[in-house]
Amino acid sequence: MSVVRDGIPASPGIVIAPVRVLRWEVPRVPHGAVISEDRVEYEIQRFRDACDYARERIRVLQERTARTVGEVEARIFEPQVLMLEDADLIDGTIGTIRENHLTAERAFEWRVLEWESALSHSSHPMVLDRLADLADVQTRVLRRLMNMPDPDLAARVDDGEKYILVARELTPSVTVQLDPKTVVGIATDLGTRTSHSAILARSLEIPCVVSVGNLSDTVHDGDEMILDGRTGRVVLAPTEEDREAYRQRDYLIREWEQELVLLAHLPAVTRDGSRLVLRANIDLPGESDHARDHGAEGVGLYRTEFLVVGRGTAPGEEEQYRAYRRVAESFPGQPVIIRTFDLGGDKFPAFLHMGREENPFLGWRAIRVCLDEPEVFRTQLRALVRAMAHGEIRVMLPLVNEISEVTRTRVLIDQCIGELRAEGHPVPAVYTLGAMVETPAAALIAPELAKHVDFFSIGTNDLVQYTLAVDRGNSRIASRYNPFHPAVVRLLDFICRSGRDAGIEVGVCGEVAAMPLGAFLLIGMGASSLSVGPPALAEIKKVIRSVTYEDAAAGVAEALKASSPEEVLQVLTARLGRVLDLNKFSASLGLSRPE
């Protein structure tokens, strides 16, 4: 009998292959580790040598990652380098060796335990990522001290067999060494969608499921497994029927993808001639070429905070300028909407020293952080203004709640333009500034807010969580997170009408735009642009080209009268189901998992 386990989908693709369990774990340090006085200096030197070695290994990996994956991705190693230079961690360990006469292994283990307990009260994904970095550093240093084989080499495979890698958690340094020719899938016990390993798995196009729970202890090398990176499901000990069902599903997906590829460069226009603009959401500058190849007409949301998270220091103006310029140059003549740092919530860069908050999603987040940290914000705005010389860059502010947040930002941008002009940089005569509408407060003042911005972009991921008071990251209440709740539908309609009445562009960059029914609803509300992750571009193009605006608008009129999410879904499904086979779509209403 096969066993089905569900985790979080992290990188799409279906694979059926044997498993290899990677035990890249912190080694157990032997007990009885007290040393005599005359060995103290020797232990300290051993510890320093192991740290130097670990730093050098990380540097080599960083260089390799920069070459093979990208410069931004290579920065994921920075926190580990910083840890190896941290006085509290390193000098603290040396102090423990000296005072307690412990071996280097024991002393370092103690110090790391203290760090872990300080960090582990939090369940924020970013803090969890820090713990993974710490474990990586700990493993590397301890293995060196204990004369164990280098973990990087141990992670390699030499027989060329294709397999699914199963691990408790993958650290970035192991992930970048994986060869997509042999590692055809990854499944981990822990991890988050935003964990560095998940980001890298997507860049390397290796199907990946994270957070499966206790998997690495239940499977053994050679066990067969099915992994579905679209749905986040793994099937252990699959039967022939399971294998057949997934082969069939894989075949259908590939066939469907081939059908969609043909649409990539056709315009996003409805059957009755309504033209929409379909853009891409990207998290890393390197994704922009991929998005363009999939037919994106520009970038609707570039999440710049990925330049910042996991960093010990704020990225400078020059580095940001290069990243923004790179994205702008990927889309000559097309808009690239760059969102200013959306920090806080679940993204905490080390250099901001953000304290722990009871309710981080209701706390110091996004535009609030930017306005309170003018130096960080000004550096970003200067980089953005400079990059405007290389493309059609538009600036977008996250989590706007009040008009003053827009007007204060305008003052800062105007100052940056003045300074840059005086310094001899080319600066634009005008610039385009938009607000994300992602709180009910912003939605309800949309008619007034529209007078102060050049465009709206609706962030439905947050708008849904704030409207319904349902945490978007809490799996226990995930079924209550329903973007088709009538309250959300009415707010969306109000925002679209307010923007249209004010004559500004209304785009949508939250996940609702990537759902077939959501896109249909938004088309009917008259949204002018949709922005979705690159994998969803073709499917949403298919929706746009299959429907008429008239039918979608009639669907909206009905949905606005509905009194439950089920009713809204029924109305939309009935209409869209008449023109498309909804079971083929991967997003949300996806191809159902074979049961």
301 interface partner picked from Mg ion, ligand PEP, none, CB below 5 to 8 A per type = ligand PEP
Residues 6+ apart with CB under 8 A from 413: 381, 385, 395, 431, 433
* Residues in contact with ligand PEP, shown as a per-residue x/- string from 329 to 348 under the rule CB under 6 A: -------------x------
509 interface partner picked from Mg ion, ligand PEP, none, CB below 5 to 8 A per type = ligand PEP
- What is the length of the chain? 595
The only residue of 202, 233, 303, 386 in contact with ligand PEP, by rule CB under 6 A: 303
Nearest approach, Cβ of residue 457 and ligand PEP (Å) = 8
The only residue of 238, 315, 510, 555 in contact with ligand PEP, by rule CB under 6 A: 510
> Quick one: which of 356, 354, 349, 367 has its CA closest to 313?
349
Cα dihedral sign for 328, 331, 334, 340?
A: negative
The answer to whether 513 and 460 have CB atoms below 8 angstroms apart is yes
Nearest approach, Cβ of residue 277 and ligand PEP (Å) = 16
Nearest approach, Cβ of residue 459 and ligand PEP (Å) = 3
Q: Is 125 in the site for ligand PEP (CB under 6 A)?
A: no
Q: Is 62 in the site for ligand PEP (CB under 6 A)?
A: no
Q: How far is CA 187 from CA 177, 212, 234, 294, in A?
A: 16, 7, 8, 27
CA angle 68–18–587, rounded 5-degree value: 65
Nearest approach, Cβ of residue 513 and ligand PEP (Å) = 9
Give the largest CA-CA distance in the chain: 86
The answer to whether 250 and 14 have CB atoms below 8 angstroms apart is yes
The answer to whether 139 and 100 have CB atoms below 8 angstroms apart is no
Nearest approach, Cβ of residue 586 and ligand PEP (Å) = 19
Of 22 and 513, CB closest to ligand PEP: 513
303 interface partner picked from ligand PEP, Mg ion, none, CB below 5 to 8 A per type = ligand PEP
Q: Is 522 in the site for ligand PEP (CB under 6 A)?
A: no
List the catalytic residue out of 370, 416, 496, 509. Answer: 509
Q: Is 460 in the site for ligand PEP (CB under 6 A)?
A: yes
Strands 505-508 and 8-11: unpaired
169 interface partner picked from ligand PEP, Mg ion, none, CB below 5 to 8 A per type = none
* Residue 156, Ramachandran bin (φ over 0: left; ψ between -120 and 50: alpha; else beta): beta
Of 129 and 342, CB closest to ligand PEP: 342
Of 311 and 390, CB closest to ligand PEP: 311
Q: Is 438 in the site for ligand PEP (CB under 6 A)?
A: yes
* Residue 333, Ramachandran bin (φ over 0: left; ψ between -120 and 50: alpha; else beta): left
Q: Is 461 in the site for ligand PEP (CB under 6 A)?
A: yes
Structure token digits, residue 53: 């070695």
Of 227 and 276, CB closest to ligand PEP: 276
What is the C-alpha to C-alpha distance for residues 154 and 20, in angstroms, rounded to an integer? 12
* Residues in contact with ligand PEP, shown as a per-residue x/- string from 253 to 292 under the rule CB under 6 A: ----------------------------------------
Q: Strand, coil or helix: what is 184?
A: strand
**Contacts with Mg ion, residue ranges (CB under 5 A):** 438, 459, 462
List the catalytic residue out of 124, 196, 452, 485. Answer: 196
**Residue 530 bridge partners (DSSP):** 278, 508
Stretch that binds ligand PEP, among 21-29, 167-175, 381-389, 454-462 (CB under 6 A): 454-462
The only residue of 459, 507, 565, 590 in contact with ligand PEP, by rule CB under 6 A: 459
CB atoms within 10 A of CB 340: 23
Stretch that binds ligand PEP, among 227-235, 242-250, 377-385, 459-467 (CB under 6 A): 459-467
The answer to whether 301 and 531 have CB atoms below 8 angstroms apart is yes
**Alpha-carbon dihedral 56, 62, 67, 71, rounded to 10 degrees:** -140
Q: Strand, coil or helix: what is 402?
A: coil
Q: Is 507 in the site for ligand PEP (CB under 6 A)?
A: no
162 exposure class (CB count in 10 Å sphere: 0-12, 13-18, 19+): middle
The only residue of 208, 284, 509, 537 in contact with ligand PEP, by rule CB under 6 A: 509
Of 227 and 396, CB closest to ligand PEP: 396
Nearest approach, Cβ of residue 437 and Mg ion (Å) = 10
Of 129 and 438, CB closest to ligand PEP: 438
Q: Catalytic residue at 121?
A: no
The answer to whether 491 and 440 have CB atoms below 8 angstroms apart is yes
> Quick one: which of 174, 189, 27 has its CA closest to 106?
27
> Quick one: which of 362, 23, 452 has its CA closest to 221?
23
Nearest approach, Cβ of residue 342 and Mg ion (Å) = 6
Q: How far is CA 91 from CA 83, 176, 588, in A?
A: 11, 30, 50
Of 151 and 345, CB closest to ligand PEP: 345
Q: Is 588 in the site for ligand PEP (CB under 6 A)?
A: no
565 interface partner picked from ligand PEP, Mg ion, none, CB below 5 to 8 A per type = none
Of 51 and 532, CB closest to ligand PEP: 532
Residues contacting ligand PEP: total by CB under 6 A:
10
What is the C-alpha to C-alpha distance for residues 573 and 47, in angstroms, rounded to an integer? 63
Q: How far is CA 406 from CA 26, 135, 344, 443, in A?
A: 48, 42, 19, 15
Q: Is 242 in the site for ligand PEP (CB under 6 A)?
A: no
Q: Is 301 in the site for ligand PEP (CB under 6 A)?
A: yes
Binding site for ligand PEP (CB under 6 A): 301, 303, 342, 438, 459-462, 509-510
Q: Which residues are tagged catalytic?
A: 196, 509
